[in-house]
Amino acid sequence: MFLNTSLGGSCDSGSSATRRAALLLGVAMLSTAFCLPRAAWGMELEVAELRTESQRDPVGLGVPQPRLSWQIRSDGRSIRQRAYEIRVARRERALLVNHQLLWTSGKVRSEQSTQLPYRGPPLESRQRYYWQVRVWDASGRASDWSSAAYWETGLLTGKDWTADWIEPRHAENSERSASASMLRKEFRLEGSVARARVYITSHGLYELYLNGQRVGDRLLTPGWTSYGKRLQYQTYDVTALLMPGANAVGAILGDGWYRGTIGIKGHRNHYGADTALLAQIEITYEDGRSITVPSEASWKTAAGPILSSDIYSGEVYDARLERRGWSSAGFDDQSWFPVTRVPTSKANLIAQVGPPVRRIDEVVPRRIFKTPAGSIVADMGQNMTGWVRLRVAGPAGTTVTLHHAEVLDGDGNFYTDNLRSAEQEIKYTLNGKGEEVYEPHFTYQGFRYVAVDGYPGEVTPSSLTGIVVHADVARTGDFETSSELINQLQNNIVWSQKGNFLDVPTDCPQRDERLGWTGDAQVFSPTAVFNMDLEAFYTKWLGDLAADQDSAGAVSNVVPDVLTAALSGLGTSGLRSGGAAGWGDAATIVPWNLYLAYADTRILQSQYQSMKRWVQFEQRHTDDEGIWSGDFEFGDWLDFFSNSKDPPFGSTSSALIATAYYSHSVDILQRTARVLGKRADAQRYARLLEHTHQAFNRQFVSGDGRVGEGTQTAYVLALDFDLLPQALRPLAAAKLAADVRARGHLTTGFLGTPHLLQVLSRFGYLDETYLLINRTEYPSWLYPVTHGATTIWERWDGIKPDGSFQDKSMNSFNHYAYGAVGEWMYQVIGGIEIDAEAPGYKHVLIHPHVGGGLTHAMESHAGPYGTVRSAWHLDGGRLSLHVGVPPNSTATVRMPNARLTDVTEGGVPLSRAVGISRSRQAGRNVVTDLGSGQYEFSYRFLDTST
């Protein structure tokens, strides 16, 4: 199959008869005898998937030098880009006729096809820039110009904002959730509209309407950032929603993260006590004239049907209070109140950085039943994040109440104790005008089960639809094996990712927390970037992380930081709101993971000061011996032993963990300095790294390789962070493996777990890794799976073997931290690994590890160059391995338990296979270097026991 496609057309001079003959003769011979050099093979050379700042045709971009990326499509092998040419114009037509270009890169000899900064004249606000690119391959063949892509700038300077901040101050009590305000304004247009944009943001959450229609499909806008320092505005193309004559704009403002309850029970008004709107509609007529409709003092406001809304509590909605036509022209707003213009600064405004939150999926209830306690409950079949769309008909004034829960208790009753104070309650009062369809506006819930109360008539599956809501990002990872249980684990990881990647990487989506806990975020980030394209998502969050770092460099424990102020307000001492080891290290670890996954050097640049400040903070907290101890730490949170303790800080010493993480951050910082070409810093931090290693070893490591208290976490941190001298590493690894074998299970918590299997497989203890991953008894990853979990649990025993629940004060069933094992599953079972020396999948390491009784595994990742694939199948003692490498990238494939002379590719010996530059025997592995293309390897899988 491959041979046909790769040969067809690749030899321009060859007739089809020649090609058929060549097929019989063998590919390798043909490649040298008749064809272009190997690198030129492939029927097509095409450029596709153009991205600006990792997005397809973004509108409202605020980046002064957007980075451009593309992919090369070619079905040949060993396709590499030798050169590229980019051109940018203000009009698409200019590209077609190659005239009046704004900027052209000229032909640049370079393999780089991702993250290329625009280097033309400075960008102007509210302009669209079209671009296209063509490439040359290694044989000098040029592709056609790609089709055009574009980006459109937002408002790039403060001067661009002419609108006023307006507040809807009508009788409100800011101590509890108030009704969501509606704001409106009518305006006339004197002609046909050629182009119209809205630039908008709010204090609180907004929904925008024009002429009776909802603008855009983004949810929970303007998203959650550290509002005082960074407030995103959104840009919408509203050309199609306007018309000549009378028009109207309307907005609804809910409390959201801005002034709703967040962080600490009962703590409201975190960013301010008043909701507010800033909106600017900019309209250009077809004849070239333009006008702006800004938010200003003449807008009017009134309370509406949303009587209260809150992220945790839910929403109360009375449909009888709906004001029909309120966002259309001609509505009578005489009884509405004037708004208040406020002189709020606009200095914190930034264009949207993160991906929008959208409705991504719908779930139909699997069953509707009555619990023993008599509640009517719908089971969505999946623990999910979002809300329920309610469909109902009945008499006006009837109130339907929905409650949301993750689990049923042992008796089959609705269980909400683990939600703590989060009510997750929706109350909808009918207006009685036929079928009514309602979705909440300014809240979200984490749930699998919905209890329905007060529903007029019978609740059927069509009464309730689960709406899955999260950041609208591309799904990039796929992973499947012959084990149904491991597949369900992967499914659970992905669902916990969906559920906690709403707009900020959160710990959980259901109880009164839902915060950007930095520790959880950093441990899960490698898994997360495999499964989804999160470059923009994390870039936004890291901006807040840096913004919320305190003057000493401490990273807040949650980002955006809503705990510091709340704790001091409560007069709480002892619990620090920042600076915890393994949590604050998100400052270095997450940017580095973005660099590895996307070759994103700009994130390293933009976070560099933040990374440095965090390391300096850590350094200042070490003693003369270089040990970081004595501070508040979360430690190996929720480890196996912590069940007997409260609070659950784990059993590995805090000082060991803190010093290990400190050293790891120094290591990342010195690597970052090298990548950025900061030589003096690189040397300085390399020296510091030496010191941290010495300190760690002096304090925690014995001559026989024992680390600290000998906990699994102590070993894995020391080994995965490369803290030990070479000679001690195998000894320490052997002790770790012995502990795993003796216990038969893991003992790690949030910080140790992500590294456990990685370290075991790195040191050759593959059987131990498979023992742990396949284990179904508590504690293990599959224990929750065998207990019906559809997401990752916060605790190893959220539901205990006896059926009772873990402590209700800390028992989320949708917490991704332990899902960090995904990284190992993808790297080791499937075998796709990033090469830190050629990040962003420019060069990929493919090394599947066959074991654990698995007979096949298949995995793919849609990376910056295209899709990388690894799929193996063990059948009758033979292993077949399919490898896919996208154009302009290369791979080194390591085939386990193989003999060089026995391995074939596409039916021919390796030495004759096209696209493979080098193959060698390395112990029991056969290692080959190859260029892009699809490869089918096959060999007799040697029995390791011999």
Distance CA 667, CA 480 (A): 34
Told to check if 585 binds ligand BGC by CB under 6 A, we report no
User: Which part of the chain contacts ligand BGC (CB under 6 A), choosing from 3-11, 289-297, 422-430, 511-519?
Assistant: 511-519
The DSSP 8-state label assigned to residue 114 in this structure reads: S
Told to check if 520 binds ligand BGC by CB under 6 A, we report yes
User: CB of 899 within 8 A of CB of 921?
Assistant: yes
Told to check if 841 binds ligand BGC by CB under 6 A, we report no
Residue 515 or 895: the one with the smaller Cβ distance to ligand BGC is: 515
User: Which part of the chain contacts ligand BGC (CB under 6 A), choosing from 74-82, 203-211, 463-471, 506-514?
Assistant: 506-514
User: Which part of the chain contacts ligand BGC (CB under 6 A), choosing from 81-89, 204-212, 514-522, 706-714?
Assistant: 514-522
Q: Is 37 helix (H, G, I), strand (E, B) or coil?
A: coil
Told to check if 561 binds ligand BGC by CB under 6 A, we report no
405-444 footprint of ligand BGC as x/- string (CB under 6 A): ----------------------------------------
Both tokens of residue 685?
């931090």
Q: According to the 3-state scheme, what is the secondary structure of 885-904?
A: ECCCCEEEEEECCCCHHHCE
Residue 38 or 511: the one with the smaller Cβ distance to ligand BGC is: 511
Told to check if 501 binds ligand BGC by CB under 6 A, we report no
- State the nearest-atom distance from the C-beta of 223 to ligand BGC, in Å: 21
Told to check if 852 binds ligand BGC by CB under 6 A, we report no
Residue 316 or 419: the one with the smaller Cβ distance to ligand BGC is: 419
- State the nearest-atom distance from the C-beta of 750 to ligand BGC, in Å: 6
User: CB of 832 within 8 A of CB of 846?
Assistant: yes
Nearest Cα to Cα of residue 77 among 38, 111, 48: 38
How far CA 53 is from CA of 150, 351, 354, 355, 511, in Å, comes to: 11, 13, 11, 11, 34
Both tokens of residue 387?
């809300």
The DSSP 8-state label assigned to residue 446 in this structure reads: E
- State the nearest-atom distance from the C-beta of 637 to ligand BGC, in Å: 4
DSSP string spanning 636-697? STT-GGGGGSSS---SS-HHHHHHHHHHHHHHHHHHHHHHTT-HHHHHHHHHHHHHHHHHHH
User: Quick one: which of 120, 519, 708, 840 contacts ligand BGC (CB under 6 A)?
Assistant: 519
β-bridge partners, 592: none
Distance CA 558, CA 262 (A): 12
Both tokens of residue 403?
């409650």
Told to check if 507 binds ligand BGC by CB under 6 A, we report yes
User: CB of 636 within 8 A of CB of 748?
Assistant: yes
Annotated catalytic residue within 167, 436, 513, 535: 513
User: Which part of the chain contacts ligand BGC (CB under 6 A), choosing from 123-131, 288-296, 483-491, 507-515?
Assistant: 507-515
Query: Judging by DSSP bridges, how do beta strands 445-453 and 340-342 pair with one another?
Result: unpaired
Residue 476 or 522: the one with the smaller Cβ distance to ligand BGC is: 522
User: CB of 678 within 8 A of CB of 612?
Assistant: no
Give the residue nearest to ligand BGC (CB): 507
Residue 267 or 842: the one with the smaller Cβ distance to ligand BGC is: 267
Told to check if 765 binds ligand BGC by CB under 6 A, we report no
Told to check if 816 binds ligand BGC by CB under 6 A, we report no
The DSSP 8-state label assigned to residue 711 in this structure reads: -
User: CB of 575 within 8 A of CB of 598?
Assistant: no
Neighbours of 770 (CB within 10 A): 21
End-to-end alpha carbon distance in the chain: 36
- State the nearest-atom distance from the C-beta of 507 to ligand BGC, in Å: 4
User: Which part of the chain contacts ligand BGC (CB under 6 A), choosing from 386-394, 513-521, 566-574, 733-741?
Assistant: 513-521
Distance CA 658, CA 617 (A): 12
Residue 521 or 611: the one with the smaller Cβ distance to ligand BGC is: 521
Q: Which residues contact 710 (CB under 8 A, 6 or more apart)?
A: 735, 739
Helix or strand run (H / E) with residue 313: none
User: CB of 592 within 8 A of CB of 526?
Assistant: no
186 part of the active site: no
- State the nearest-atom distance from the C-beta of 447 to ligand BGC, in Å: 17
Site for ligand BGC in 630-649 (CB under 6 A): 634, 637
Annotated catalytic residue within 167, 618, 768, 794: 794
Binding-residue total with ligand BGC (CB under 6 A): 9
User: Quick one: which of 118, 258, 501, 517 contacts ligand BGC (CB under 6 A)?
Assistant: 517
362 part of the active site: no
- State the nearest-atom distance from the C-beta of 513 to ligand BGC, in Å: 5
Told to check if 864 binds ligand BGC by CB under 6 A, we report no
How far CA 468 is from CA of 224, 465, 476, 495, 498, in Å, comes to: 19, 10, 18, 10, 8
Told to check if 628 binds ligand BGC by CB under 6 A, we report no
Told to check if 513 binds ligand BGC by CB under 6 A, we report yes
User: Which part of the chain contacts ligand BGC (CB under 6 A), choosing from 516-524, 532-540, 561-569, 591-599?
Assistant: 516-524
Positions in the binding site for ligand BGC (CB under 6 A): 507-508, 513, 517, 519-520, 634, 637, 815
Catalytic residues: 513, 794
